[in-house]
A and B are shown apart, each in its own frame.
Chain A
Amino acid sequence: MKTVLKEIKKKPIEYLILLIIFFIGTSLYFIFRFEAAVQRIIIYSIITLYFFWSLYYHQKRGDLHLSIVIEYLIFAIFALVLLTTTVF
């Protein structure tokens, strides 16, 4: 846990943006938990925003590299595959 917090302290604004994305997305997901179509849109939005946040974050850090983009893309695809087969 300390290592995670240490990482966050280096770029607090960027992580705050990510936290806001997660908080709003999660809240909307549970508000619309009985509407599958809306949930689908929320999930796609969270995953997309997470990917674009990663580009922004690493651009700011000065280490935006193809290998890092691929890493985040794979995590995004993994989440998408799992959610579309279990939630919907």
Chain B
Amino acid sequence: MKRLWLMFLPHEKNNHRAGILKPGFLILFIAIYLLNQSILKTLTTLKPGVLGYSSEITAKKVFDFTNTERNKIGLPSYHYNSVLSESAAQKAQDMFKNDYWAHNSPTGKTPWDFFNNVEYKYSVAGENLAKDFYDTDSMMKAWMNSPTHKANIVNTKYQEIGVAVVNGVLGGVNTTLVVQHFGTPLNGIIKDTTPEEIAFNNSAAVESKVLAVNSQHFINPVNISKFIGIGMFLLIIVVLFMDSYITLKNNTHRLTGSSASHIGFLVIILLFMIFSQQGHIF
């Protein structure tokens, strides 16, 4: 029992430094954390689909939010084009099938190949990608804060948009891929469609599948890492406080780093971990 206290409090027996704060133990913390990461990585390989990010994003929400951003700056709404949605869905499926996260596939396919596959003849075209986001609002904010992605959303040359929200396993982890395909038809003819109808009719099957899959609960690997990391840092911060209090109270002189600076540093890192955003755009 006494040995346990020596891990958390400074004493003559531990050279007036709590055991946890010594380099050896800190290295052990790092090793435990890296072991956790290895286990998570192994799990994605041995049992793909166990880990994942759940999502409430739907194609209709993405379409609506995109046009909201355009309308805010006085631009007309994009027309919803089901052919572009099909090319976007094929792109998402290709990313899952070939396990990559990029505009160009490892097999050499470019985004324009997917436009050509569905025979969408365009004068201009563009693509936005997103994954691992939980909600549409966060995803849109991420796109709008990125100059290149924002340029696609508020482009004055594009007239049509297709959206695909597809669930699958990427890199051994369940996730939701969101693909936006933008374009202007070469012949200049815009299909006269009602966005609400098109979104419901054409993506009803996809949306219902999305809803069904979203109701599953995945183990979020980032949350596991965050939980362990935050736990470790909180423990170290508390021990630093106790360690410095007892040392100063006893007026013990020792050769160690500044507890105040360590506490400040660890608190900053904690804040970064707690408030980090989930999701990636490309």
A residues contacting B by CB (< 8 A) are 1-4, 6-8, 15, 18-19, 22, 25-26, 29-30, 33-36, 43, 46, 50, 53-54, 57-58, 63, 65, 67-68, 70-72, 74-75, 77-79, 81-83, 85-87
Contacts and interface: CB of A to CB of B under 8 A. Distances in A.
Contacts of A34: 141-142, 145-146, 277
A82 B255 contact: no
Given A36-B280, A81-B30, A82-B33, A15 B233 contact: no
B238 interface: no
Main secondary structure of the interface of B (DSSP, over half): helix
Interface of B: 23, 26-27, 29-30, 33-34, 37, 141-142, 145-146, 222, 225-226, 229, 232-233, 241, 244-245, 247-249, 255-266, 268-269, 271-273, 275-277, 280
Nearest to B37: A85
Given A3-B245, A78-B26, 13 more contacts: A4-B244, A6-B248, A15-B260, A18-B264, A53-B261, A57-B261, A63-B255, A67-B256, A71-B257, A77-B30, A79-B269, A81-B33, A82-B225
17 contacts: A4-B259, A4-B263, A7-B258, A34-B277, A50-B265, A54-B257, A63-B255, A68-B255, A71-B23, A71-B257, A74-B23, A74-B27, A79-B269, A82-B273, A83-B272, A85-B37, A86-B273
